[in-house]
Amino acid sequence: MADDRWLFVSDAHLTPGDEVRQGELARFLLDFPGLTHLCINGDLFDFFFGFQSREMAGFDTILAALGELTTRGVTLHYVEGNHDFCLGPRFAARYGARIHPNGTALTLGDQRVWVEHGDLANPEEHLEHLFRWLFRTRAARLLAEGVGPARLQRFGRWLDRATTGAHYTIRDTAHPCFRGYAARRIAAGYDVVIFGHAHVPGDEVVEAAGRRGRYLNSGDWLAHRSYITWEAATGFRLHNGGRPGNGPAPGEPREPG
């Protein structure tokens, strides 16, 4: 549609009760002019599991904003990351979201677009890959339902500490693992590939199999407050919104995850 206005954000890593950042992100989303489509590209939450009958506590502010957006008619796409799992039919119904556990293909204008969180790009992230697989098994879902939101949240914090810092020499969005992973999609026929996960915004040309494509990384909503927009008149734009340079805000983590 001619008036479509897309927004792609990722890697806010919101924690329970973090009212300041939840509020900032909620205001940014709700005040975004002309927004018709929001695509969350993973790790909106530092840890989130989609329980079938309960909600994880402490995320009311951001969840209310998502609900408000869908009430306004904004289409919500949620590409799961390696910190948000099994959002499933309940989340989809409650927030009107289209849930994509492994990524999604879009057509914007005349371009074929692939959106994926990007954690599978780095072959060294063994533990993350294990938990990505494990959390999506039926056995893990049943176990999580029994364990319950509060205890699972504590486990999530432990898991985050266990996996952070192991492979984080890869902070460069243009690292060969991300470029190579994007190149595979471009070789397969996509024109634009969008990842997050690296926590560094990026926008570059990637050539693969005689094709020329564009690889965008939405960066994060921690240090950079970066995001991607698309509208028909301008195409894709990367906005390195908040803070100059690559420095984290005081007290904020900057490691990818």
Binding stretches for Mn ion (CB under 5 A) = 43, 81-82, 119, 197
What residue number has its CB nearest to Mn ion?
197
Angle of helix 126-135 relative to helix 138-147, nearest 10 degrees, comes to 80
Q: Within a 13 Å sphere around the CA of 32, how many CA atoms are in the beta-carbon half?
A: 26
At its nearest, how many Å lie between Mn ion and the CB of residue 211?
27
Q: Which is nearer to Mn ion, 119 or 231 (CB)?
A: 119
Please tell me the distance from the alpha carbon of residue 205 to that of residue 183, in angstroms, as a whole number.
10
At its nearest, how many Å lie between Mn ion and the CB of residue 219?
12
- Output the CA–CA distances (angstroms, integers) from residue 125 to 121, 135, 206, 217, in the order listed: 9, 16, 23, 18
At its nearest, how many Å lie between Mn ion and the CB of residue 257?
5
Tokens read off for 12: 């806010």
Q: Which is nearer to Mn ion, 43 or 116 (CB)?
A: 43
At its nearest, how many Å lie between Mn ion and the CB of residue 119?
5
At its nearest, how many Å lie between Mn ion and the CB of residue 14?
13
* Angle, vertex CA 168, rays to CA 164 and CA 171, nearest 5: 130
At its nearest, how many Å lie between Mn ion and the CB of residue 128?
8
Phi, psi of 238 (to 5 degrees): -95, 130
Question: Residue 48 in contact with residue 83, Cβ under 8 Å?
Answer: yes
**Pick from 37, 33, 44, 42: nearest CA to 194:** 42
Question: Residue 193 in contact with residue 202, Cβ under 8 Å?
Answer: no
